[in-house]
Structure 1
C-alpha cells in the first residue's frame, strides 16, 4: 500500500534507491510544487541530479502532497545522463534554471505542459514531434548543438530572449513546426549557424528585435513554403550575417526590417516567389549583398533608396503600393536598373502600370521611355541606330512634342534660307505660280508634296543641299512619327 505523499513505489521498485540527499530533496520539492535551489559551491556530488530521477518524477513516481500541484522546479544543479521524456505525457510544469546538462534532453513525440529551461547550458535539445500545451522558454540558455523542433506543436509562446543557440552548422531546425502564439527572441538573442523552418506555421508572429543571426557563407534563416501571420518584427538592431532565405513563403502580415543590418557575400535577402502583405525594407545601413524579389508579390513595399544594395532582382515582382510615394521617377528607374541580369521588360511595365493606376500617365510614359532606352543596349548596331533615331525624333512616341519641335526648327531654317536665296522657276514661259518660302519649305518636308511648289521651283546656289536634307528629314520624321504612334497604341 502507498505510504503517503513522497512514496515512490513498493519495496525494490523505488527509483530513488541510492539517491543523494539533493535528489531526495528534489522529490520532496516536486511533490509540493516548490523550487529546489542548489546553493553555489555545493560541490559536484551535492549539486548533481541524475536525469533518470527527473524523468521518474515527471512520469508519476511521486505523489503530490494534499492540496499541492506538483511541478519540477530546479535551479543550479548539474544534470547527469540523458533526460528522456520521449513518447511520454507530462502534466507537471518543467522549470529548470541555471543548470548544466551533460547530455541533450530528449522530448521527442512527448506531450508536455510547459517546458522552461532558462539560463542553462545544454549540448543540444530535441523536442521533435512533441506537443507543448503551454510555453517553450529557453531564455538565457546556451545550447551548443542543434535544437530540434521538427513538427513540434506549440500552443503557447516560444521565448528565446538572450539565448545563445548553435556553434555553426544547423543551430535550430523547426521545419514543419506550428506555433499558435508568438516567438520572442529579444534582448541579445544570438544564433551561430542556420535556423531552418521549411513548412513551418507561425500564427502570431516573430519578434526578433535586436537579435543577431550569424552564418557567414550560408543561410541564417532558411524557410520555404512557410506561413507567417501576426507580425514579423526583425527590427531595432536586428543583424543577419548571411542569407535570409524566405523563398516561396507567405507572409500574411507586416515584415519589418527597420533599422536592421543585412550582410552577406552574395545574396543577403531572398524573397523570390514570396507573397507579402507589407514589407518595410528600411535597414539602418546599406544592404551588403544582393536582394531578390524575383516573381514576388508584395501588397505594400516601403524602402529607402539610401539603403538599396548594388543589385536588386525585380523580374516578375508585382506590387500595389510603393512608399515613399513622392520618390522621383528617376530613382525608381534606377532601382529597376540594379537588376543583375540586364534588361528585363516586366519591371518597367509593372512600374508604369503602378503610375497609371495612380492616374499619373505622364510618369508612366517616362518609365516606358526609360524602358526603350534600356532595351536599346540589347540591340544590334542597325537596330540601335534606328532606336536612337526614334528617341531623338519622337521619344519612341512617348514625347510627341519632340516631332513638333523638329518640324518647327526645319520649317524656320527653310523659310529663312529660301527668303534670302529664292529658288529659280523651272519653266519661265509657263504659268508662274506664286512663290512663298514658308509654303515651299513645307512642300519639301511633306513627303506627299501636295502644294506643287517642289515641281515648279529649283533651289539655287548652295541651297539644293538644304532642300535635299529637308526632303530626307521629312521622310525620316514621318516614318518615326508613325512608328512611335504605333508603339504607343500597342503599349510595348
Structure 2
C-alpha cells in the first residue's frame, strides 16, 4: 500500500509503527482506520534501523474486516478501546504479543491462534463469539470484566449463529502457559473450557455465567497447575467440572449456583486437593460428586440441595467440624438411594480426626438406613438389634436390658419362690442366682434345674430364658460387627 493513499489517522499509524509509537485517536475528529491498512502493517511491516516496530493504537474505529488468517505477525500488537465494524479473523495466526483490551467487535474468530506472550482481552464487549478453540498461548490469558454474548442469546436454545451463538466463549482444548484470569467476566450462554490446560491458576472470581436451563460452564477435564478460584461466582445453568484436575484449591466460596430442575454442579470423577464451598448459598438443582477424590472438602450441610449423588466420593478431611447428627441428613438425599460407601466415607472422616463417638453414630445410621431396604423379617430383626444393642454400636443397652430383667426376676421370685423339684436334694433358694440362671444361657448356678415355677411365674421364666438368648445373640453379633470394622 502506498502512503499517499492513506487518510490522516492512517498516516499517523503508519509513521508511528516502525518505532513502536502509540497513536491515540480517542479525541480525534476522524477516528476511522481501514482494516486493510492495519493488515498491511502487520504482514508487511515497514522497519527502521535500530527500532523495534509495534502496532499500538487506541480509540480507533476500524472499518472493513481485519483478517489475518494464518498470518505470521512478528511485532507486538496493542489495539485498545477500538471499535471493529466486523468480526476479527485471526484463525491460525501467530503473534508475539496481542492486546485487544477495551475493544468492541461483533466477534473474534481465533481458533488455533498462537501467541508467544500474553493475550489480553480485558474490558471487551463482544455480542458474538470469542472462538479460541485449540489456541496455544505461551503467557497468560486475560478476560477480566469482558462481556460476551447477549441476554437474548442466553435464552436461545437453538444452534450457534453469528447473531446468537450458543457458546460465546469457546476455549476448548486450548493451552495457556501461565494464568487464566477472568475476574468479573460475563458470559450470556455457554462458556466452553473443556480439555483446557492451564499451567498456572484459573481465576473466575465475581464472574457471571448466565445460561438458564442449559450449561453455563462446560469445563470437563480442565487441568489446572495450581488453583481454580471462582469466589462469588454467579452461575445460572449447569456448572460441569467433570474430570477436572486441581492440585491446589477449587474455591467456590460465596458462589450462587442455580439450575432448577437439573444438575447445578457436576464434579464427578474430579481430583481436587481442597474443595471449598464456604458460605455458598443453598444450591438450587442437583449436585453430582460421584467418584470424585478430594483431600479436604469444606461444605456446611445447608449448602447441599435435596438431590445429591455421593457414590464413591472420597475425602480425607471434612470441614467445618460438626457433630455427625448434622451431616447424616444429607446422605438420605442421595438420588441413588441407599449408598453404603457414603456412610463408610463419613465414618472414615470422623475416625481420621479421632472422633470415634461420631464414627459410631454414622455406622448406626447406616444400619438403620440399610434396614429400610430389607424384607419384613429382616426389618423386624433389625429393629430388635437396634432396640437392644444399637447394632453393636450401643453395647451398654444390652447391659441395661439385662439389669432390668434381672431385677424383675429377682423381685418376682423373691416374693414368690418356686417349689423345689426334690426337696431333700435342692440347694438353698437364691432369687438373684435363680433369675441370673434363667437369663444367661451359658452360666449354670444349679438353681434353674432344682426349682420349678408354676402358673404365671413359669411364663416369666420362659420370657427370661428367651430374652437372655436374644440379648446374648444380638450383643455378640453387633459387637463382632463393630470390632470387625474397627
When normalised by structure 1's length, the TM-score is 0.90
Structure 2 stretches lacking a partner, 5+ long:
155-165
Match of 2:115 in 1: 132
* Aligned residue among 175, 185, 189 for 1:193: 189
* Aligned residue among 46, 71, 77 for 1:63: 46
In the alignment, structure 1 residue 351 sits paired with structure 2 residue 338: no
Match of 1:242 in 2: 237
Match of 1:170 in 2: 167
> For the Cα contact (< 8 Å) 1:15–1:53, is it kept in 2?
no
Match of 2:93 in 1: 110
* Aligned residue among 300, 305, 322 for 1:327: 322
CA distance in 1, matches of 2:117, 2:52: 16
In the alignment, structure 1 residue 51 sits paired with structure 2 residue 35: yes
Q: Secondary structure at the match of 2:100?
A: strand
In the alignment, structure 1 residue 450 sits paired with structure 2 residue 447: no
CA distance in 1, matches of 2:6, 2:369: 79
Deviations 1:218-246 (A, max 9, x none): 222112222112222211x3211122111
Q: Secondary structure at the match of 1:298?
A: strand
Q: CA separation of 1:405/1:39 partners in 2, compared to 1, >3 Å: closer, same or farther? A: closer
* Aligned residue among 65, 68, 77 for 1:94: 77
In the alignment, structure 1 residue 384 sits paired with structure 2 residue 367: no
Deviations 1:123-173 (A, max 9, x none): 111222121112111111111111111111112221112110123320111
Match of 2:258 in 1: 263
Deviations 1:375-425 (A, max 9, x none): 111111110010010111111112211111111111011101111122122
Deviation at 1:273, TM superposition (A): 0.5
Matches within 5 A, 1:283-294: 283-294=279-290
CA distance in 2, matches of 1:455, 1:203: 82
Deviations 1:164-222 (A, max 9, x none): 01233201111111111112222x32111111122111111112221111111122211
Match of 1:439 in 2: 433
CA distance in 1, matches of 2:340, 2:98: 53
When normalised by structure 2's length, the TM-score is 0.91
Q: CA separation of 1:284/1:360 partners in 2, compared to 1, >3 Å: closer, same or farther? A: closer
* Aligned residue among 464, 472, 482 for 1:488: 482
> For the Cα contact (< 8 Å) 1:15–1:56, is it kept in 2?
no
Count, aligned residues: 471
CA distance in 1, matches of 2:443, 2:351: 40
> For the Cα contact (< 8 Å) 1:202–1:228, is it kept in 2?
yes
CA distance in 2, matches of 1:393, 1:334: 24
CA distance in 2, matches of 1:323, 1:284: 14
Structure 1 stretches lacking a partner, 5+ long:
1-13
Q: Secondary structure at the match of 2:480?
A: helix
Deviation at 1:118, TM superposition (A): 1.9
> For the Cα contact (< 8 Å) 1:227–1:252, is it kept in 2?
no
Deviation at 1:57, TM superposition (A): 0.5
